[in-house]
Every structure is written in C-alpha cells, then in structure tokens.
Amino acid sequence: MKRKIVFSGILLIIYYAVLFPWPAMAQERETPQFVVVGHTSVPETLPRNEIKQIFLGRMTSKAGNSIGFVIFKEDTVYAAFLKAYVSKTITQYTNYWKKQVFTGKDRMPRMFESTTAVLEYVASHEGIISFLSPDDIIDYETVHIITVVE
C-alpha cells in the first residue's frame, strides 16, 4: 500500500508539472474597474455584505421592497466584481447557481452580454442592481450609481 502511494505520488508530480500552466500564471493582469449601478428605487448606498447576499440570492428584499440583480457577463469586469464583493471566481459563482437550480431552490440569474442590455433592464425594473465598467455608463433617468459602504 505504501509503495503504491509513493509511486503514484511521483507519477502525479510529473503529471501536474507537465500540465501546470506556467506561462499563464506568470502574466500579471491589471485589475479592471467597475461600478455598481441600480434602479433609482434602490438606495444610493448599500453595505458590502448586502451586495454579497443579493448576488447570492439570499437577500431579496430591503425595507419592504423587493431587490434583485442581473449579471453583466463581460469576463474581466464580471471576475473583478465577483472577487471584490462575492469572494468567488466565475467558475465558483456559476457552480453556486447551478447548485441552486439543480436542488430546486432558485433559478439562474439573468445575464446580459452587452452594457446596453444591462442598463435597459435595470432602468425598466424597480429594485434591480448590477455592475458595469465605469467607461460604459450611459445616462438613464432611472439608473444611478450605488456607493458600496463597509
């Protein structure tokens, strides 16, 4: 048994050394910026912890009003937002929601691939928040930037 473990361990070290993405890991990436936006019915400030609970589907109302979210699915902004406020990678977050779906507890969140689609949805639905690159913000009468507080 012990010899099997040692031999298998050596094989695995060689296996993973070959698979390990050395060049990709060596690259440094600049962290993209983002802002949290929401319908004007949502308060102008939200605590960081509430942002996390909203995007995990655990907080669906605030002060008696419904609150929800949509996802902007541009990978760099998406990953940065999740890391900052939900403490998950995109894969971890996707798997979290797949667990919710396949246990019947919730449905997949709405996701949009364009800034315009996100803004139009937020503008037309009370209680909805999302996140975008600050360079893509377009003025909508019913959308404002939300300040996240500790």
Partner 1 sequence: MRRIGCVLVLVCYGALGGTFQGWAMAPPEEAISIHGFVSQGYLLSDNNDVYAETTQGSFQFNEFGLTFLVQLSERLHTGMQVLSRDLGDIGNNTVGLDWAFADYRWKDWFGIRGGVIKIPWGLDNETRDIDMLRTSIFLPSSLYGEDVRDVYDAMEGIALYGSFPLWKLGTLNYQFQYGDKSVSEDYEFMEPWDDSDGTQLDSLDVLDIYLGMLEWETPIEGLRLRETTGEYAWRIRGTYFLPAELGGGQLPIAETGRETFTIVSADYTLERLSLATEWFGVWNAADEEEFTEPDAYQEGWYAGLSYRMTDWLEIGAYYSEFYSDGDDKDGDDWVEAGLPAYLAWQKDLALTTRFDLGEHWTIKLEGHLMDGAARLPASIQNVPERETALFAVKTTFNF
Q: Which residues bind partner 1 (CB under 8 A)?
A: 1, 4-5, 8, 12, 15-16, 19-21, 24, 49-50, 53, 58-61, 66, 70, 73, 83, 87-89, 91-92, 94-95, 98-99, 101-105, 107-108, 110-113, 117
Nearer to partner 1, 94 or 142 (CB): 94
Is residue 18 within 8 A of residue 122, CB to CB? The reply is: no
- Work out how close the CB of 102 gets to partner 1 at its nearest, in angstroms, rounded to a whole number: 5
- Closer to partner 1 by Cβ: residue 15 or 33: 15
Of 61 and 147, the one with the shorter C-beta distance to partner 1 is: 61
Cβ distance to partner 1 smaller for residue 111 or 148: 111
Shortest spacing between CB 99 and partner 1, in angstroms: 5
